Amino acid sequence: MFRLFTMLLIGFSAAYAVAEEPPTMTSVLEASGAADWVVLEQQSLLYLFLDEGVIVFELAPQFAPRHVANIERLAAAEYWDGLAVVRSQDNYVAQWGDPAAGTETARPLSSAEDSLAPEFFRARDGLAFTAIESRDAYAPEVGFVDGFPAGRDEGRAWLAHCYGMLGVGRGNDIDSGSGAELYVVTGHAPRHLDRNVTLVGRAIHGIEHLSSLPRGTGPLGFYEAPEQHVSIRRIRLGTDLEADEQLGFRRLRTDTDTFVELVDARRHRREAWFADPAGRIGLCNVPVPIQVVDPR
Amino acid sequence: MFRLFTMLLIGFSAAYAVAEEPPTMTSVLEASGAADWVVLEQQSLLYLFLDEGVIVFELAPQFAPRHVANIERLAAAEYWDGLAVVRSQDNYVAQWGDPAAGTETARPLSSAEDSLAPEFFRARDGLAFTAIESRDAYAPEVGFVDGFPAGRDEGRAWLAHCYGMLGVGRGNDIDSGSGAELYVVTGHAPRHLDRNVTLVGRAIHGIEHLSSLPRGTGPLGFYEAPEQHVSIRRIRLGTDLEADEQLGFRRLRTDTDTFVELVDARRHRREAWFADPAGRIGLCNVPVPIQVVDPR
């Protein structure tokens, strides 16, 4: 009892007090309630249909409103249909869309813009930023905003290139990205890309269909032969799908005590296997739980 | 001229002075000489032959002499031949060997040990440790030893779980690893495993044959059906291969000024594409160049 009392004094959670065991990620999630989760709106979901399966991304308009709006226009115009995944670079990215984007032979962008002012970062204020204690190699401070990994400094906040993050390819001009080419991180986080390219979301379902594609053998992992391209059936916003095609998800909210407890459990790894738990954690090693729910 | 002089004063490399351009990774490697490279001995190379291709690992006996010796015994006994890759967990590891290791139905280990004292870390002294300046989430100090990413504290040094690192699977007992099950990191560096499991080397060739395998759909990414297993043709030390099967490699030495310049160039990314070079770098984002050479 003295032990339990002491623990309460030093701020352990109610779940800990009930279980009388140090929390693990499993126990934290089991103790979560409905208010800890947010059901994702179909209008915030981008579906990529391949023969291999469907990949779903949650979009991040709070960081990249112009780019997300352009992607919505491209999806509505069925722009990517019949294009392909053209690049799979080991330990880096998979990329799809129009390799001729920005050239004279580019596929027309319909009502979408072919040039957008960059959204590499935004103002720091106005976000539900949950900081996590971590010595980060790239950012003065790191944490999560609405489920997305992010960094910030005194004035700015930006999305971080963790595994599964969705970005807008560009050329050397910083305003040369439109969404005609998109990429997803499929390797160790290339954080040196942070604040150099616009990130627009995160894969929440099916990324294995992109991360396990054969690697391209050309420079930068581009496929060398057209027959290696992986055809895109369709890319659509969730709201443009038939009801029976929609998938339902809820995501753990990251502005909650439950998320803080989850990060703590991940930091300390109290499962029996661990001989020497790190007691530390890196931004891109924090899982943000997603669960499949009935979409209707 | 004033600009060049100033740069020499603040410590830029001779290569920089000659080129009169800030060094990039490409220019650093182009300026390297034979003494910057080490040709890898066949006795330090472990070859994994799959139908998909060959993967080559450089072993690290300076960190794990007992485990490397045991792996050498297992390779000599052709232990893994006919076993399989049984696990491919997205953004984590691929694993192969005997899933029954440590149980009564385990494949006999021949002259190898079935239990080894852990080699999760070693003494700090006696290594050619090139520290890199980096705020690392997991270790007080990080750097490279003979091409391997590593961490250290006041008394200990250990290999770090970066992409491509090769480890010895174990159960909950810390001495339950033998090499009967091996894994390679195929996702974002799971650095929380550092000092919790014995690492024995690093993939230097062909990791894409493991990282692009279909993901297992069972718990922890294990394949659910035996027909999904990816058969191992052979695993051999380089010295046990026919001459025409050996591959030749040289690796950039990491105890050289050239490597320090390479890390600096990677930190600052002076290529035109970068709008806001990080000026910072993470341990697992440092590339250690490997080149194919004639093995004879």
Tell me the pLDDT tens digit for each residue of A18-52. Answer: 446 789 999 999 999 999 999 999 999 999 999 99
Q: What are the distances in angstroms from CA A70 to CA A74, A112, A168, A180, B269?
A: 6, 6, 11, 9, 29
Decide if B240 contacts B75 (C-beta within 8 A).
Answer: yes
Instruction: Determine which of B91, B119, B193 to mutate to test the interface with A (most A C-beta atoms within 10 Å).
Output: B91
Interface of A with B in 26-85 (CB under 8 A): none
**Beta pairing partners, A93:** A185
Interface of B with A in 82-141 (CB under 8 A): 88, 90-91, 118, 120, 134-138
Query: Does pLDDT of A8 surpass 90?
Result: no
Say if the Cβ atoms of B280 and A211 lie within 8 Å.
no
Q: What is the DSSP letter of A222?
A: B
Nearest CB among A137, A192, A212 relative to B214 is that of A212
Instruction: Determine which of A26, A89, A165, A212 to mutate to test the interface with B (most B C-beta atoms within 10 Å).
Output: A212
Say if the Cβ atoms of A172 and B213 lie within 8 Å.
no
Burial, B241: exposed, middle or buried (Cβ in 10 Å; 0-12, 13-18, 19+)? middle
Taking the Cβ of residue B282 and every Cβ of chain A, the question of whether any pair is shorter than 8 Å is answered with: yes
Query: Does pLDDT of A106 surpass 60?
Result: yes
Strand order in the sheet with B37-39: B37-39, B248-252, B290-293
Query: Does pLDDT of A12 surpass 60?
Result: no
Is residue B2 within a helix (H) or strand (E), and if so which, with residue range? helix B2-9
End-to-end Cα separation, chain B, in angstroms? 46
Q: Which chain A residue lies closest to B269 (C-alpha atoms)?
A: A192
Nearest CB among A135, A163, A277 relative to B136 is that of A135
Say if the Cβ atoms of B212 and A90 lie within 8 Å.
yes
Decide if B265 contacts B24 (C-beta within 8 A).
Answer: yes
B241 Cβ contact list (under 8 Å, min separation 6)? B42, B47
Instruction: Write down the residue that tokens 């341990």 correspond to.
Output: B283
Instruction: Write down the residue that tokens 């916003």 correspond to.
Output: A237
- Copy the structure tokens of residue B223: 């394949």
Phi, psi of B286 (to 5 degrees): -85, 120
pLDDT of residue B8: 34
Q: Give B196's contacts in chain A (Cβ within 8 Å).
A: 273-277
Q: Which chain A residue lies closest to B195 (C-alpha atoms)?
A: A276
pLDDT of residue B40: 98
Tell me the CB-side half-sphere exposure of residue A174, using CA atoms within 13 A: 13
Say if the Cβ atoms of B190 and A284 lie within 8 Å.
no
Taking the Cβ of residue B162 and every Cβ of chain A, the question of whether any pair is shorter than 8 Å is answered with: yes
pLDDT of residue A9: 36
Decide if B80 contacts B97 (C-beta within 8 A).
Answer: yes
Q: What number of C-beta contacts closer than 8 Å exist between A and B?
A: 129
Nearest CB among B137, B174, B214 relative to A275 is that of B174
B61 Cβ contact list (under 8 Å, min separation 6)? B44, B68, B69
Q: What is the DSSP letter of B107?
A: P
Q: Which chain B residue lies closest to A140 (C-alpha atoms)?
A: B135
- Copy the structure tokens of residue A120: 């590499």
Instruction: List, in sequence order, every beta strand (DSSP E) within chain A.
Output: 37-39, 45-50, 53-59, 84-88, 93-97, 122-123, 129-132, 141-145, 148-152, 156-159, 165-168, 181-185, 199-205, 230-237, 248-252, 290-293
Q: Give A137's contacts in chain B (Cβ within 8 Å).
A: 134-137, 280-283, 285
pLDDT of residue A20: 60
Say if the Cβ atoms of B191 and A282 lie within 8 Å.
yes
Interface of B with A in 195-214 (CB under 8 A): 195-196, 207-208, 211-214
Helices H / strands E in chain A, number of each: 6, 16
Decide if B147 contacts B58 (C-beta within 8 A).
Answer: yes
Decide if B139 contacts B151 (C-beta within 8 A).
Answer: yes
Say if the Cβ atoms of A134 and B136 lie within 8 Å.
no
pLDDT of residue B296: 74
Looking at the complex, report in whole angstroms how far the Cα of residue A284 sits from the nearest Cα belonging to chain B. 8
pLDDT of residue A296: 74
pLDDT of residue B20: 60
Say if the Cβ atoms of B212 and A207 lie within 8 Å.
no
Q: Give A118's contacts in chain B (Cβ within 8 Å).
A: 275
Looking at the complex, report in whole angstroms how far the Cα of residue B221 sits from the nearest Cα belonging to chain A. 11
Average pLDDT over residues A180-208: 98
Please report the ipTM that was assigned to this predicted complex.
Answer: 0.92
Say if the Cβ atoms of B194 and A134 lie within 8 Å.
no
CA–CA distance, B279 with A137 (Å, rounded to integer): 10
Percent of chain A at pLDDT exceeding 90: 90
Q: What are the distances in angstroms from CA B225 to CA A206, B80, B230?
A: 20, 19, 11
CA–CA distance, A152 with A13 (Å, rounded to integer): 28
Side chain identity, residue B248: G
Average pLDDT over residues A94-123: 95
Side chain identity, residue B67: H
Residue A13 binned pLDDT confidence (cut-offs 50, 70, 90): very low
Taking the Cβ of residue B164 and every Cβ of chain A, the question of whether any pair is shorter than 8 Å is answered with: yes
**Other residues' Cβ atoms within 10 Å of the Cβ of residue A273:** 14
CA A11-A15-A17 angle, 5° bins: 65
Say if the Cβ atoms of B275 and A207 lie within 8 Å.
no
- Copy the structure tokens of residue B222: 């294990």
pLDDT of residue A4: 34
- Give me the tens of pLDDT residue by residue for chain B, a chain 296 residues long: 233 333 333 334 444 444 467 899 999 999 999 999 999 999 999 999 999 999 999 999 999 999 999 999 999 999 999 999 999 999 999 999 999 998 999 999 989 999 999 999 999 999 999 999 999 999 999 999 999 999 999 999 999 999 999 999 999 999 999 999 999 999 999 999 999 999 999 999 999 999 999 999 999 999 999 999 999 999 999 999 999 999 999 999 999 999 999 999 999 998 899 999 999 999 999 999 999 999 87
